[in-house]
Amino acid sequence: MQELIKDSIMKHLANPSNIDVPLEALDDSAVIDDIVFTTDSHTVQPLFFPGGDIGSLSVCGTVNDISVMGAQPIALSLGFIIEEGFSIEDLDKILESIGKMSTEAGVPVVTGDTKVVEKGALQQLVTNTSGIGKRTELLDNNIFEVQRHREFNEKWLKDSNLRPGDKIIVSGYIGDHGIALLSFREGYGFESEVQSDIWPLNKMIALALKGGGVVAMKDPTRGGLANTLHEWAGKSKFGIKIDEDKIPIREGVQSACEMLGIDALNIGNEGKVVIGVVKEKAEDVLKIIKTTNEGKFAEIIGEVREDMTGVAMVTSVGGLRLVDAPAGDPVPRIC
Ligand code: MG
């Protein structure tokens, strides 16, 4: 996927230099003149799964990608491509959950498009959601707070903003979404204990910004926590060291991973955020997000380091393990 994006897609789409966060940055959203803009397509199978459906996914993925730039999401577009003969009842259920999530997030769907294609042209239904967000005073105040503690010349919370000493927070249990979906799809039965974590994070993120000192945020979707940390380390050009004992993982996810021979760090999440914060403010931000339902299991899991590159983890038994960037997708079509 990385090669496809870099070698085949991006080479035709060079951005002008006045774009604040351009396509080439490969961040969660682009920024043009203080407008934050992103798009996401959804091909999840099955369409309904424990804890959510393609509708909730369509809203939350886009709301979260805008929010992690430090912006307030304000509006969404919604595109449907539907296979001829698709059940109207199922479409109604999907739209009901889109309406519910959009209300929960406070971000309306303001434009859309629907196409029907002939039977067999695609599997049931796919969606595309784009979204826009805007800069608020919350982000400005958060950045002032960062600047009280270290040099910081950025206007947005980009992947490349981390510096040695910054602490890394994860907002809760990792791996829930991917394991719930995989288990349900393949009939392993773990979904009785593990449900998808799909949720719009804009409200919790606004609280974290209010706490101040946040330098970067990312939702660990495809490729999971390992991929997020690798993107941060690579773009920031520093290493990241995490502590295995601090990473929140549910027992059900842990046992599913052991049984299936996959690493929970590589599993996609849809209701979690990873937060980089100056060390002086890390405990404050942690405390604030722990007051929310979506962030009550948050932990400080590690820090940015000058003396290494890549991502390494201090294991429960005290060893040091290199965390590889996920080579392939251990759980395809989960978003
Ligand atoms: Mg993202």
In the chain, what are the domain boundaries? 2-322
* Residue 202 scores a pLDDT above 90: yes
Looking at residue 197, its pLDDT comes to: 97
Residue 176 has pLDDT above 90, yes or no: yes
d(CA 3, CA 75): 31
Cβ(266)–Cβ(254) under 8 Å?
Answer: no
> 309: CA distance to ligand 1 center in Å?
23
Q: What is the mean pLDDT of residues 27-40?
A: 95
227-257 pLDDT, tens digit per residue, is: 999 999 999 999 999 999 999 999 999 999 9
For residue 332, what pLDDT band results from cuts at 50, 70 and 90?
A: confident
CA atoms of 38 and 58, how far apart (whole Å): 12
- pLDDT score for 331: 77
Share of the chain above pLDDT 70, in %: 100
Instruction: Give residue 310 CA to ligand 1 midpoint distance, Å.
Output: 20
Q: Are strands 311-314 and 239-243 parallel, antiparallel or unpaired?
A: parallel
- Is the CATH number of domain 2-322 3.90.650.10? yes
72-86, 180-194, 309-323: which has the minimum mean pLDDT?
180-194
Q: Which residue is listed with tokens 């035709």?
A: 12
| pLDDT computed for residue 192 by the predictor | 78
Classified as helix, coil or strand, 97 is helix
Distance 134 CA to ligand 1 centre (A): 17
CA distance 52 to 48: 6
The C-alpha atoms of residue 83 and residue 125 are separated, in whole angstroms, by 6
CB atoms within 10 A of CB 210: 15
pLDDT above 80 (res 328): no
Which residues does residue 82 pair with via DSSP β-bridges, in sequence order?
116, 125
Give 63 Cα–ligand 1 centroid separation in angstroms.
10
